[in-house]
Chain A
Amino acid sequence: MIKIVHVVNQFFAGLGGEEKASLPVGVIEGSAGAARGLEPKLGDEGKIACTVYVGDNYFHEHKEAALKAILDAVRAAEPDVLVAGPAFNSGRYGLSCVEICNAVANALQISCLTAMHEENPGIGAYREFVNARVYCLPTTEATTGMSDALARLARFAIRLARGEEIGSAAKEGYIGRGIRRIERADRRGAARAVEMLLKKINGEPFESELPMEVWDDAPPAPPLDHVKDRNIAVVTTSGVVPWGNPDKFKTYRNTYWRKYNIAELKELEPGKWEAVHGGYNVAYMNQNPHYGVPLDALRALEAEGAIGLGKLYPAYYVIPGNQGSPAVMRRIGQEIAADLKKDNVEGVLFVAT
C-alpha cells in the first residue's frame, strides 16, 4: 500500500477562505476537506497518511517556519510520495505548492507532485527549481476540473511511488521542467529534419524539438568615479595560468576558479604563463600573456597615477571560460564577486576572450 501525504491550503482543507489565510501549518489524520477526493482515486493501491495544511498568507509571510513545520510533519509520516494541490489558477497557493514540493524533495529525497493551471505563477518557480524529483500536472483554470485533476494526480502519484520510469513531459503529460534528456526518436534526425522543413514550407503545423529560451539581461554597472581611489582587480576567462597549469584546469567545462599572485610582478613574462583554453588559438596569448591579464598596462597606469598606489589587487582571478555551463559560471561569478567584496574591491577589469 502506497503512502501519500497530501498538502493543501486552508480552503481545500475545509477550514475556511481568505479570512483563514493566516492559519499556521497543521496536520489532519487521513484526508480532509475538498481535497478528500484524492483518496478514492487511489483505489486499493494507496492511502493518504495525513493531510498537511497551511494558510496561503501564513506560508508566504513565515516561509521558513512554515517549511520547517511541513518538513517535520512529512518526515514523521514517512510517505512514498507527496502530493500538493491542485492549485488551479490560485497564485499564492500554486507558489506554495511548488516551494513545498521542492523543499520536501530536496530534504527527504522523495518524489513530489503538484498540479495547477499553466498560467499559475507557481509554474515560473517550478521551472526555475528544475528539480528532477518534482512534477507538475496541468489543470483547468477553475476548480471545475477538480475531479479530473485528482484522478490524474492519483495515477501519477502511484507511478512515482512505484519508482516507474517517467518519460518526457510531452509523452507523460506533465509540465516540462526544462531538463533535457537524451531519448531515441522513431526515425533518424536527418529524416525528421526533412519532414519538419517540408511542413514549415507547406504551412502545416510542426513542433520544434528545441524551444527558444529567453535569457537574463545583465545590465552593465554604472561607471566607477574616482578610479584612482578605488581598489581594482582583474578577473579573466582567458585561462592564463602559471606555466605548467598547476591547478589542472581543463581546456573546457571547468568548474572552479583560482587566483594567482601578481603583487611583486611588473609584467607577465612569456614562458612563465600559458593559456589553458580550448576555445581560441592560444599561440598569441602564450607569446604575450598581457592579452589576458594586462598587467603591463595596469602598472603603467599606476605609474601615471591613474590607478592609486597599492590599489591594484595583489592577485588576478581566472577560469578558462570555454564551454562553461551557464549554471556553473553563474556560481563562479557569485563566488568571485563574494571574494572580491570581502577584500573591498570596488572595480573589476573583466578580460574575456
Chain B
Amino acid sequence: MKLELADFPVKQIRVGNRFKYESEILEVDEGELIALVLEDTRITEAALAVAVPGEQTRITGIRDIVEPRFKVAGSGQVFPGILGVVENVGDGRTHRLSGMTVIAAAEYEGTIRAGTTVQRNAILDMSGPGAEISRFSSCRHLVLSFRIAPGLGELDAHGAIQSAEYKVAQRLGQVTAKLSPVEIVTYDLSKKDPALPNVMLVQGCITDPQHVHSGVGYYGLSLRNSLSTFVHPNELFDGAVTVDTTRSGRGYYPTTWDWQNHPLVLELYAAHGKNLNFGGVVLQRIRFETSHGKEVGAQNAARLAKAMGADGALVTWIGGGNAFVDVMLTVRACEQIGIKTTLVTYENGGREGKDSPVLFYIAEANAIVSTGSLDKVIELPAMDKVIGPYEQIKIFPFPGAALMPARGALSLEARDVMIGGADIWGQGEFRCAEY
C-alpha cells in the first residue's frame, strides 16, 4: 500500500461564486456548496463564513473539523462507507488542502439530557488565550454553519452533520483535481530494515456500544464491542476512521482532522526506515465495562501487536474516566509479552495541578509523555465577532445549565468546551511538568 499525499497549501479562503485554487488562494462557490448541503432534507438552513487566525472571532456550535481531501488515484474515495461504498483506501494519490479546514458548526439540542451520549459542541477562539491553547486556531477555516430539522434523533443528526461536512470537504479537495501540487509526500511501509526495531501505534478508542453511534467509525461502521483490529496508517489519511459528530465537539476528543493528521502516525512515518520500522496501527476498543472485559481487551491488543512483530509500541487513547484503566492494562500486557511501550496521555490533576494527574497507575508504565492537562482554568475575553449557530452557549452539558452570551467574556473551569483545548496525541509542545 503506497499513498502519495499531494499538498495544496491554502493561505486565503474567498467565498465567491466559482471554485478556483491559485497561488495558495482558494475561492469557493457559495451557491453550489450551500445547495450541496441542502440536498439533505434534514438540513434546513446553511451559511458559509471564513475565520482567520488572529482575528477577534469566536466560532460556536462546533461539531467536527475536517481537512479537505480528494482522491485522484487509487481505489475508493475519501471517507469510504460514508460518502460512498465501502472500498479499500490508502493507496494511490490523495490531494489535500493543508492549512485550512472545514468546520461543521450546527445547532442541535439532542434528545438525551445527560450521560456519555449527550450531544456536545465546542467553541474556538481565533485570537487571545483560547487561541493559544488550541491547535486549530492557527488554521484558516471555512465555517459551515447550519441548522438541522427539529426533533431529529442523535443518529440522524450525526448523519446530517457528517455527510454535510464531508461532502463540502471532498468538493473543495476536488477543486485541485487537475492541478499540480506544491509537494508530494509518499507514505509507504513496504520496505523494512531488519536491523531496526518494529514499532506500532496502539490506539485505544473509548466507545459507547449501546449508543446509536459508538463514537468511533471504521469505514463508517461503529466500533462497538469489537476486539482490536489492524489498520494501515494510510487508511487514516483517507478518512477510514471517523467520529460521532454529535459528541466529538469537546476539548479532549479528536476531530476528523486529527484522524487525518494523526501526529503519532506522522512521527512514526518520519522515523520509518531511519530509526525504526513503523508496523502500523492497532485500533483498540477501550472502556470495557467489566474488569474481565478490560483484561481481555488489553491482552488482545498486545497479542495482535506481537503477532505483527512489534518490538515497541506507542500507546495512546481517546476518552476519559475508567477507559484509562483499559489503557494502563494494555501497557502492562504489552510489557509482559516483551513489547516496550511509551504511553502518550493528557492529564487531569485539578485546576491547581495538585490532584493525581491520572486515575490509574501500574508499575510498568515507566515511560510516559504528557501532553498537558484538561483541567486548567482559562479566562476568555469578549470577541468582536461570533460565527456559528449559537449566539448564546451552554458551558456545561447538564440539564438546566445556564446560557451565556457567546460574544462575551467566558470563564472556563476546564478545557472541554474548547475544540482542541487539550492536546491528546502530542500534536503540540504542551506538557505538564512537576513544580
Q: Which of B16-24, B41-49, B50-58, B358-366 contacts A (4 or more CB under 8 A)?
A: B358-366
| Residues on A with beta carbons closer than 8 Å to the beta carbon of B431 | 182-185, 189, 192, 209
A342 at the interface (CB under 8 A from B): no
Chain B 100-137 interface 0/1 with A at a Cβ cutoff of 8 Å (1 = within): 00000000000011111110000000000000000000
- Chain A, interface size category, equals 35 or more
A274 at the interface (CB under 8 A from B): yes
Q: Tell me if B372 and A182 are in contact (CB < 8 A).
A: yes
Query: How far, in angstroms, from A275 to B114 measured CA to CA in the complex?
Result: 7
**In the complex where A201-B340, A215-B356, A327-B355 touch, is A275 in contact with B434 (Cβ < 8 A)?**
no
Query: How far, in angstroms, from A325 to B430 measured CA to CA in the complex?
Result: 22
B199 at the interface (CB under 8 A from A): yes
Q: Tell me if A201 and B267 are in contact (CB < 8 A).
A: no
Chain A 175-192 interface 0/1 with B at a Cβ cutoff of 8 Å (1 = within): 011111111111111111
Distance between B343 CB and nearest chain A CB, rounded to angstroms: 8
Q: Which are the 4 A-B pairs with shortest beta-carbon distances?
A: A189-B426, A282-B115, A190-B426, A168-B433
B304 at the interface (CB under 8 A from A): no
A218 at the interface (CB under 8 A from B): no
Query: How far, in angstroms, from A197 to B113 measured CA to CA in the complex?
Result: 42
Q: Tell me if A179 and B352 are in contact (CB < 8 A).
A: yes
The B-contacting residues of A in range 180-232, CB under 8 angstroms, are 180-194, 196-198, 200-202, 206, 208-215
Chain A 230-244 interface 0/1 with B at a Cβ cutoff of 8 Å (1 = within): 000000000100001
Q: Tell me if A198 and B114 are in contact (CB < 8 A).
A: no
The A-contacting residues of B in range 140-196, CB under 8 angstroms, are none
Distance between A272 CB and nearest chain B CB, rounded to angstroms: 14
Q: Which of A45-53, A246-254, A306-314 contacts B (4 or more CB under 8 A)?
A: A246-254
The A-contacting residues of B in range 302-328, CB under 8 angstroms, are 311-314, 320-322
- Please give me the residue from chain A that is nearest to B265 by CB atom: A190
Distance between A294 CB and nearest chain B CB, rounded to angstroms: 19
**In the complex where A189-B428, A277-B114, A282-B115 touch, is A210 in contact with B413 (Cβ < 8 A)?**
no
| Residues on A with beta carbons closer than 8 Å to the beta carbon of B116 | 278-281
A303 at the interface (CB under 8 A from B): no
| Residues on B with beta carbons closer than 8 Å to the beta carbon of A200 | 312, 340-342, 367
B370 at the interface (CB under 8 A from A): yes
| Residues on B with beta carbons closer than 8 Å to the beta carbon of A283 | 112, 115, 117, 210
Distance between A240 CB and nearest chain B CB, rounded to angstroms: 11
| Residues on A with beta carbons closer than 8 Å to the beta carbon of B435 | 132, 166-169, 176-177, 179-181
Q: Tell me if A214 and B361 are in contact (CB < 8 A).
A: yes
Distance between B124 CB and nearest chain A CB, rounded to angstroms: 19
Query: How far, in angstroms, from A212 to B434 measured CA to CA in the complex?
Result: 12
B residues bordering A, Cβ < 8 Å?
A: 112-118, 197, 199, 208, 210-211, 263-264, 266-268, 270-271, 275-276, 311-314, 320-322, 340-342, 344-345, 347-350, 352-358, 361-363, 365-373, 375-376, 396-401, 413-414, 416, 423, 425-435
Query: How far, in angstroms, from A250 to B416 measured CA to CA in the complex?
Result: 13
A8 at the interface (CB under 8 A from B): no
**In the complex where A169-B434, A180-B435, A280-B116 touch, is A193 in contact with B314 (Cβ < 8 A)?**
yes
A326 at the interface (CB under 8 A from B): yes
| Residues on B with beta carbons closer than 8 Å to the beta carbon of A171 | 433
The B-contacting residues of A in range 264-303, CB under 8 angstroms, are 274-283, 286
A261 at the interface (CB under 8 A from B): no
Query: How far, in angstroms, from A326 to B359 measured CA to CA in the complex?
Result: 9
| Residues on A with beta carbons closer than 8 Å to the beta carbon of B397 | 251, 278
**In the complex where A184-B430, A197-B314, A197-B342 touch, is A276 in contact with B114 (Cβ < 8 A)?**
yes
| Residues on B with beta carbons closer than 8 Å to the beta carbon of A139 | none
**In the complex where A180-B433, A276-B398 touch, is A212 in contact with B264 (Cβ < 8 A)?**
no
| Residues on A with beta carbons closer than 8 Å to the beta carbon of B314 | 193-194, 197
| Residues on B with beta carbons closer than 8 Å to the beta carbon of A322 | 321
Distance between B91 CB and nearest chain A CB, rounded to angstroms: 24
Q: Tell me if A193 and B208 are in contact (CB < 8 A).
A: no
- Please give me the residue from chain B that is nearest to A171 by CB atom: B433
Q: Tell me if A244 and B348 are in contact (CB < 8 A).
A: no
Query: How far, in angstroms, from A283 to B117 measured CA to CA in the complex?
Result: 9
Q: Tell me if A186 and B350 are in contact (CB < 8 A).
A: no
- Please give me the residue from chain B that is nearest to A321 by CB atom: B321
Q: Tell me if B115 and A277 are in contact (CB < 8 A).
A: yes
- Please give me the residue from chain A that is nearest to B262 by CB atom: A190
Distance between B359 CB and nearest chain A CB, rounded to angstroms: 8
**In the complex where A130-B354, A193-B314 touch, is A182 in contact with B398 (Cβ < 8 A)?**
no
Query: How far, in angstroms, from A101 to B388 measured CA to CA in the complex?
Result: 51
Query: How far, in angstroms, from A170 to B366 measured CA to CA in the complex?
Result: 18
A143 at the interface (CB under 8 A from B): no
**In the complex where A182-B431, A281-B210, A326-B356 touch, is A209 in contact with B115 (Cβ < 8 A)?**
no
| Residues on A with beta carbons closer than 8 Å to the beta carbon of B414 | 253
A344 at the interface (CB under 8 A from B): no
**In the complex where A201-B197, A209-B431, A283-B112 touch, is A190 in contact with B398 (Cβ < 8 A)?**
no
Distance between A236 CB and nearest chain B CB, rounded to angstroms: 15
Distance between B348 CB and nearest chain A CB, rounded to angstroms: 7
Query: How far, in angstroms, from A193 to B265 measured CA to CA in the complex?
Result: 11
**In the complex where A200-B340, A274-B399 touch, is A323 in contact with B430 (Cβ < 8 A)?**
no
Q: Tell me if A197 and B118 are in contact (CB < 8 A).
A: no
Q: Tell me if A181 and B433 are in contact (CB < 8 A).
A: yes
Q: Tell me if A274 and B353 are in contact (CB < 8 A).
A: no
Q: Tell me if A180 and B268 are in contact (CB < 8 A).
A: no
Q: Tell me if B432 and A178 are in contact (CB < 8 A).
A: no
Query: How far, in angstroms, from A326 to B348 measured CA to CA in the complex?
Result: 11
Q: Tell me if A188 and B433 are in contact (CB < 8 A).
A: no
Q: Tell me if A325 and B398 are in contact (CB < 8 A).
A: no
Query: How far, in angstroms, from A239 to B113 measured CA to CA in the complex?
Result: 13
Distance between A163 CB and nearest chain B CB, rounded to angstroms: 16
**In the complex where A283-B115, A325-B355 touch, is A178 in contact with B267 (Cβ < 8 A)?**
no
- Please give me the residue from chain A that is nearest to B276 by CB atom: A198
Query: How far, in angstroms, from A81 to B314 measured CA to CA in the complex?
Result: 45
